[in-house]
Structure 1
């Protein structure tokens, strides 16, 4: 039930335009990387000057466009998969004592009770708002027990986004409260602003919740495969079901479904668009100390 009306349509902000430009550039570099396009060629594709594009991209990613794209080549991604034989190995390499503690300082996940699941969110109030992020505009929903919804907007349609949130929590009460959700959205993308753990509340089947918990164990800057996730939850033959659960992730970024790729190094589909998955992965790699480069400037 939606209890408050709002102005749902706004023109694109400067931040949205910037991400859209960067996403188009990433997609062009990804598909033409073997041709080694120069800065002028890429800038022309996104209709900005080479100087402005180089500065804008470097401010966003912290590295140059071509070095960013090195992180998304199949060879690099396959090497990342080979670095660890399991999610557990990656977790231990992150310097924590066990895989279950990888996100202890960052994110906790709670599932609704069986009764709440059956009642489709009845009795739960969700405050939501629209906010900008490094990867475009998003809608975030939060309850008193934690963030329950985080989706990127594909087409800028606020009304459609609210309707999808309502379908996801059919009998919950929705309240538009961007002042409440703005600090949460900020903390998702800037861990330095987290004064406490971020709590996530999910509504899913037992299998889905098990998969989403497994995803929390993948450290930033690391990757895994659908097969490894299936093994990690003790059901190695359930790769297709794992893929469906990954695709149904209700809380983008915090539950890092973007870190799951195919074992051949190919980036699989992403609910919020393949260019956004590339952007998030490259952005994370560029912020992990010790991530190797290739000398590409």
Structure 2
């Protein structure tokens, strides 16, 4: 049987769609700041809007609108870090004003542009300790979601709290172990009724890109640092990916424990390799 006689597969479809998607990505790289709509990007790819939406989403795993939002967010955040005002960052990225930029930031990282610019300054986190399957769970909760989750052995809880709080030196904290316990119970709830937990992540665009890649690793599966690097950038960025994985402030929910070295060894877990091994075994037992 000739190859051309075979029924099309998802791989065949992705190969066929490649030229169209490349044309769209090239257009977006040059025109994203103009905030193009679906019709404009579809025309650049030579497809109808309906067909293009399906092709682009199937190939990239995200929608054209979401891609424009991500590019806008990354550039605006860098402008804010460099000292630009919220208004200037909005206008520089092609938005009509601060309210539009506010919506982009809430969608991308659940914080406002002003909060991102301040890097946690003015925020007050709720901090606490509660029991968990992996020892004492230490949490930091921002007004808009969970910002930190760590684990500690008996007697090391205060040090773990200090370690998490040090990642947000400009923010304040208040102790509330009861609220922490409520969050930990939600984190480790099982079954179809499990709540979706909001995350409020404060980090550079690069780190958040790596953390999003970690979220895509299914429970019970592991990948290498190299695989993550290839997904978000290039295999040559494995060391930078390792640093971003190590800086992950939300253990377990952002599953950095599922990342192994290229030879399959358990390496580089901030909260201890024995705990990393226990997490992988716990997930395997849940399947």
CA 1:211–1:187 in structure 2 vs 1: closer, same or farther (change >3 Å)?
A: same
Instruction: Please state whether the residue corresponding to 1:186 is helix, strand or coil.
Output: helix
The reply on whether 1:228 has 2:223 as its aligned counterpart is no
Q: After the TM superposition, which residues 17-166 of structure 1 pair with which residues of structure 2 at under 5 Å, given as runs?
A: 110=109, 112=111, 115-154=114-153, 156-166=155-165
Deviation at 1:208, TM superposition (A): 0.5
Equivalent pairs counted in the alignment come to 186
Higher helix share: 2
Q: 1:109 Cα shift?
A: 7.3
Partners of 1:175 and 1:279 lie apart in 2 by 30
**How far off is 1:126 after superposition?**
0.8
Distance 1:99 1:282 in 2: 32
TM, length-normalised to structure 1: 0.57
Distance 1:151 1:100, change over 3 A: farther
2:210, 2:241 within 8 Å by CA — same for their partners in 1?
yes
> Do the aligned partners of 2:229 and 2:237 also contact (CA within 8 Å) in 1?
yes
Cα displacement string for residues 28-82 of structure 1 (whole angstroms, at most 9, x for unaligned residues): xxxxxxxxxxxxxxxxxxxxxxxxxxxxxxxxxxxxxxxxxxxxxxxxxxxxxxx
User: 1:216-270: per-residue Cα shift (whole Å, max 9, x none)?
Assistant: 0011011111111011113332000001111111000000000001222211121
Tell me: CA distance 1:174–1:200, structure 2 relative to 1, closer, same or farther (3 Å).
same
1:146 Cα deviation after fit: 0.7
Aligned to 2:205: 206
What is the rounded CA distance, in whole Å, between the counterparts of 1:237 and 1:272 in structure 2?
26
Mark the runs of 5 or more structure 1 residues left unpaired by the alignment. Answer: 1-96, 102-107, 289-297
Could you tell me whether the CA contact under 8 Å between 1:151 and 1:252 is conserved in 2? yes
Give the aligned partner of residue 274 of structure 1: 273
Measured on the aligned residues, the alpha-carbon RMSD in Å equals 2.4
2:198 alignment partner, SS class: strand
> Matches of 1:247 and 1:155 in 2, distance apart?
22
How many Å separate the matches in 1 of 2:194 and 2:279?
A: 23
Structure 2 length-normalised TM: 0.59
Corresponding position of 2:262: 263
Structure 1 runs of 4+ aligned residues shifted over 6 Å read: none
Superimposed CA distance per residue, residues 193-227 of structure 1 (whole angstroms, 9 cap, x where no aligned partner): 85531111111111111000000001101111111
How far is the alpha carbon of 1:173 from its aligned partner? 1.9
Larger-Rg structure: 2
- Aligned CA distance change for structure 1 residues 100 and 259 (closer, same or farther; 3 Å): farther
3-state secondary structure, aligned to 1:140: strand
